[in-house]
Amino acid sequence: MRGLILVVALMTSGVAVAADSSTFQLRHTDDLVRVCSVPPEDIFYANATGFCHGILTGAYRYYDATVTAENRFICPPSPMQTRAEVMNGFVAWAKSHSQYTNDSPVDTLFRYLAETYPCRK
């Protein structure tokens, strides 16, 4: 009942909700972009930003732990940008590459990382 009251209150208050629990399922790149784009004034901002950072960091850390040095295609600079800077860069890149909207979010993330931080061999 409390959830219904919250939904009705949000709908009648004119507050735009950028992310909801269905968005956090990350079916497509567009879902990840939406989660990573939640503005600070949104009631879901803290959850969405934490979730986005978790996905980005977790995916990269898995890559870092499993890909050998000779097979790396992503080589971030030192010092590395902050998580927020990487998140904002990914969002901007994904919005300008709409052909990946329906692709796997992790695949699109790695396309962004490979283009933004390529290894120089």
pLDDT in tens, 71-102: 999 999 899 899 999 999 999 999 999 999 99
d(CA 43, CA 60): 27
Residue 46 forms part of a structural domain: yes
Residue 72 forms part of a structural domain: yes
CA 105 from centre of chain: 8
Domain count, the chain: 1
Low-confidence ranges of the chain (pLDDT < 50): 1-17
Residue 109 forms part of a structural domain: yes
d(CA 54, CA 25): 14
Question: What residues make up the domain containing 93?
Answer: 16-116
- Tell me which DSSP letter residue 71 carries: G
Question: 64 phi and psi, to 5 degrees?
Answer: -60, -35
Residue 9 forms part of a structural domain: no
Residue 121 forms part of a structural domain: no
Residue 48 forms part of a structural domain: yes
* pTM, two decimal places: 0.77
